Structure 1
Amino acid sequence: MDNHDFAVERIRSRIVHFYNTKTAFRVYHGSTNSTRHANFDRASILDVSALNNVLSIDPATKTAVVEPNVPMDALVRETMKVGLLPPVVMEFPGITVGGGFVGTAGESSSFKYGFFDRTVLSAEVVLANGDVAHASSTDNQELFEGLRGSFGTLGVLTSVKLQLIDMKSHVEVTYHPTTSISSAMSQLRAETASATADYIDGILFSPTSGAIITGRLTSTPSPTLPTRTFSRPWDPWFYLHAWRLASSPSPTTECVPIQDYLFRYDRGAFWMGSYGFAHFRVPFTWLTRLLLDYFMHTRVMYHALHASGHTDRYIIHDIAFPAPNAAEFAEYVDKTYGIYPLWLCPVRKDGRSSMGHPRSFSGEVPGKTLGAVYEGAYINVGVWGPYPSDEAEYVRANREIEAKARSLGGLKWLYSRVFYTEDEWWSIYDKERYEVLRAKFNAESLPSVWEKVRDRGPRREFGTGWKAWVKRVLWKSEVARGLYGVWKAMGGGDYVLSKKGKTA
């Protein structure tokens, strides 16, 4: 802990400097799983990228104290050494503990445990004036609750204490075929209500084909079940495997090692990697997936996506809806955009309060009294697919999706581009309560959530010189941009932090 305390003191002293000089600053974590545009200047950032350690794990209390930049795969690796697991493990290995707590992060166990932030028991945070605060449900409760979905706008997170659960070696995974959007939603809600599974999610492959996928933790897998893995280069991508089983006449069950299950969507980033094959006109076969496996993991793909600027070529939204309204949104996406697959993930009823300080929703929901506040469960719908168009049409389409989501009580996960106007934003989020909280904890010098996520348009910064000229020429070619992104990903380095200037 001595190293941690030293790191926190360095962060605290720099925050005090920014506070006293009234210097606006941004927090740099070292990586991102966001598709929003980011280009931080080294001269005005607070670098917390070194806070990437698991500080302690207590098997007796089933808890861990963890710094915010610990990624999911590192956290799982350490907890498994003592026979424990985080209750909610985000499906991309590079998503961090801090991002899960102050952002929005859920997975197939979120119907049971809520979003990732609900597994956090306490937090250490440096406030904007340099004070170090400790918050939990019994100590600084208002700050603790406010940190959920705050995106670092109440202070700088430096560690959290997490609840853990007993580890089991395998997950018995069952694929339940569905034949319509409504039947998929009904099956999803029925599986959630039965509470016999440990994991539940779903994929819609078309209006008439889908699979609701349930998982049960076990350390004694049935010897009659086949074992399936998804992490090796020659293994199938998970969504392709589920797609094949969705055409079966009855449910199929198999046994999956726990790590393969937790990160089953890493290879191919769900199905987004398949669009890369189409982009470069490479056949999408088992052999080409094997040969290009290095590029098909999410850490590399995020790097390539940002470097190429192709975040502006895809519709990318995760939106949590009151469960009875999710089918209407999926049908709207089907009729308007025809984007498939769609990801479905049930979320506990406290999910809304984990998502960026929203207002309650009292609009229309089947089965709810008109005008009453909705207090039921949610279903997240993930819409991720190509939308080649000019910028004006791209913005129009995304604004239309946001408007539809808003009318149905949907809340966006804020890792993706936000197209709301400021007035629209504050009609969804509780500005009054949020600003009172920021004032109470001296956070007014920090950017607000709106200031952090508001859309700033496509990034087109090429600089000067012959390299900039070459880049401008190449940027006119979609294929050349893609190749540039792949090249940058292969070279590693930083795709978030501006190269100009040095941190003092």
Structure 2
Amino acid sequence: MTTIAYEERKQRLIDFLRHHADGPIRLGKATSNLFRDRKPVAGERLDVRDFNNVLHVDREAGVIEVEGMTPYAKLVAESLRHGVMPAVVPQLKSITIGGAVTGCGIESSSFRYGLVHETVEELEVLLPGGRTVVCTPTNEHRDLYFGFPNSYGTLGYALRVKAKAVPVKRFVRLEHLRHRDPAAFFDDLRHRCDDPGIDFVDGVVFGRDEMVLSLGRFADDAPYASDYTYERIYYKSLRERREDYLTTEDYIWRWDTDWFWCSKNLLAQNPLIRRLYGRERLNSVTYTKIMRWNSRVGLTARLNRLLGVHAESVIQDVEIPIEHGPAFLEFYHDTIRFLPVWICPTRAFRDDVRFDLYHLAPGRLYVNFGFWDVIRGRDKLPDGFYNRKIEHKVRELGGMKSLYSDSYFTPEEFWRIYNREAYERLKRRYDPEGRLKDLYAKCVLKE
């Protein structure tokens, strides 16, 4: 894909915005990994589906230049051809790099490189008024560079991203360490994050006294390579093996085949039904399509009403300072209860950088808790009953909550956490006509 082609397509979007200057706008795109249903809103659709190309991979410089709507499946495949990978690759193939930058993506290399947006060196943003700006940490648009993460498309859209790439080897050797005590588990995790010989760190909580810490190291050779893309299921192997080897590509996508463990809700872990899906359809793209269809037709909601069951989706990722990890886990076991839970450490890639709308303290190690399921019961509870408890506990422990799913903050709570002053300053400069919804309206009110 040539730069000229990129510039021509960019000009098409600019012309569209300038000729549709009145009224709200929304993105027209092929995929979404938001887990909150938005209310139907009238508005012009900005078609960005063809901004899905890898423009350049520079192995020597350790940089990838890519268009914002490129899914990580495509980005990783092209990067590996050059012997590198993006420094942080979120877990699902259908996530786009632009979405990960504006929505705070994470993975098992984040203990070293931070969240996805921390690996970005340059960002070209399409503004709602019909112009583009290039943002870096030091240029005249550095305020947007530091304010774009966690803005969820309310300030503009990432058309082009220049991000850090790191060299890879053919295989990843995995070591699975078992723990029975949460305090020992988090202490071990903290210790491993300081080991320069480890390339990847994450873990899974299977129960109050069953936790597995997984350490990954690149390897040139392997005695075997396990396959978790069809009949075998990766997360189950953590309880069965102490050592494992995967190709680097399979390691990157180890969670995608079964949507971590959520494929069980779509019967995909049943051996017979798994074969009916087939290898090519066991992935997050398929599951997301099924989820969107169910949301549109309301099949599950009808069944719940028929059975007299009240349900609340609890789909959350939260960052908690590691010293409070045991306390949050105890709260989780007492309140939310469904298992497993994903554990992923992260800390700032650079200690001298602050991202305004999703501030994690420099030099501090955080732990991401990822948990995704539905709580059902006979009693009708207030709307967002369990999600509100999570939000309160995260604030109490000095953590941060991602906004890709349901949120129930009051406006006062929300803006205390997500920096109203900085956000409104960015809004005045980059969307003065208010063509895009503000962050609270989009992420909490679902407008």
Query: TM-score when scaled to structure 1?
Result: 0.79
- How far off its partner does 1:351 sit? 9.6
Asked if the contact 1:127/1:443 (under 8 Å) is kept, the reply is: no
Q: Which amino acid aligns with 1:132?
A: T
Give, in whole Å, the separation in 2 of the partners of 1:53 and 1:302: 22
Aligned to 1:409: 398
1:306: how far off? 2.2
CA distance in 2, matches of 1:189, 1:152: 34
Describe how 1:141-220 pairs up with structure 2 within 5 A. Answer: 141-220=142-221
| Residues 1:447 and 1:455: Cα distance change in structure 2 (over 3 Å) | closer
| 1:167 CA drift (Å) | 2.2
Deviation at 1:193, TM superposition (A): 2.1
Query: What is the match of residue 17 of structure 2?
Result: 15
Q: Per the alignment, do residues 177 and 406 of structure 1 end up closer, same or farther by CA in structure 2, a change over 3 Å counting?
A: same
Distance in 2 between residues matched to 1:215 and 1:111, nearest whole Å? 12
Partner residue, 2:376: 388
Q: Which residue of the partner structure matches residue 270 of structure 1?
A: 260
Aligned pair 1:452/2:436, yes or no? no
Q: Could you tell me how far apart the structure 2 residues matched to 1:382 and 1:34 are?
A: 14
1:438 aligned residue (412, 415, 427): 427
Amino acid at match of 2:422: R
SS in 2 for 1:193: coil
**Distance in 2 (alpha carbons) for counterparts of 1:63 and 1:42:** 39
Corresponding position of 2:103: 103
Question: Partners in 2 of 1:195 and 1:451 — Cα distance?
Answer: 43
Q: For 1:319 and 1:354, how far apart are their aligned partners in 2?
A: 18
Percent identity between the two aligned chains: 26
What displacement does 1:127 show? Answer: 2.0
Residue deviations 1:32-78 (CA, integer Å, cap 9, x gap): 11111036667522221221111222233232211111111100111
What's the offset of the Cα at 1:102?
1.1
The 10-residue stretch of structure 1 (436-445 or 132-141) with the greater mean CA deviation from structure 2: 436-445
Per-residue deviation, residues 340-364 of structure 1 (Å, max 9, x unmatched): 101100001469988771467xxxx
Can you give the 5+ residue segments of structure 1 that lack an aligned partner in the other structure? Answer: 246-251, 361-372, 458-504
Counterpart-to-counterpart distance in 2, 1:320 and 1:355: 15
1:213 corresponds to which letter in structure 2? Answer: S
The residue number in structure 2 matching 1:52 is 52
Give 1:302 shift. 1.3
1:35/1:306 contact within 8 Å kept: no
Q: Kindly indicate whether residue 6 of structure 2 is the aligned counterpart of residue 4 of structure 1.
A: yes
Whether 1:291 aligns to 2:276 is yes
Q: Distance in 2 between matches of 1:444 and 1:321?
A: 36
Which one has a bigger Cα radius of gyration? 1
Using the TM superposition, give the Cα deviation of residue 382 of structure 1 relative to its aligned residue in structure 2, in angstroms: 0.9
CA distance in 2, matches of 1:239, 1:316: 18
1:308-327 Cα offsets, whole Å, 9 max, x none, are 13597531110001111122
Q: Does 1:334 align with 2:333?
A: yes
For 2:384, give the aligned amino acid.
V
Question: The residue matched to 2:254 in structure 1 has which SS?
Answer: coil
Question: Secondary structure of 1:387's match?
Answer: strand
1:239 aligns with 2:235: yes
Partner Cα separation in structure 2 for residue 275 and residue 207 of structure 1: 23
> 1-side partners of 2:108 and 2:407: how far apart?
25
CA contact (8 A) 2:65 2:163 kept: yes
The residue type equivalent to 1:134 in the other structure is V
Distance 2:383 2:215 in 1: 35
Summarize the Cα distance change of 1:260–1:40 in structure 2 as closer, same or farther, 3 Å threshold. Answer: farther
Count of aligned pairs between the two proteins: 427
* CA deviation map 1:326-345 (0-9, x unaligned): 22111111012321101100
- Superposition pairs of residues 337-416 of structure 1, within 5 angstroms: 337-349=336-348, 357-358=357-358, 376-389=364-377, 392-393=381-382, 395-416=384-405
Match of 2:306 in 1: none
Q: 1:213 to 1:147 in 2, by over 3 A?
A: same
Cα 1:350–1:259 change in 2 (3 A) is closer
Instruction: State the partner residue of 1:301.
Output: 287
Matched residues in 2 for 1:244 and 1:393: separation? 40
Deviations 1:378-432 (A, max 9, x none): 1001122221247744511211111111111221121111111212111211101
CA distance in 1, matches of 2:420, 2:34: 24
Q: Could you tell me which amino acid in structure 2 is paired with residue 318 of structure 1?
A: D
| CA 1:287–1:184: 2 relative to 1, 3 Å | farther
Q: CA RMSD for the aligned pairs?
A: 2.5
Q: Measured at CA, do residues 382 and 304 of structure 1 come closer, stay the same or move farther in structure 2, by a change above 3 Å?
A: same
CA shift digits 1:180-215 (9 cap, x unpaired): 322221221121122321000000000011210010
Q: Describe the SS at the equivalent of 1:300.
A: helix
In 1, are the aligned partners of 2:356 and 2:419 still within 8 Å (CA)?
no
What TM-score, normalized to structure 2?
0.89
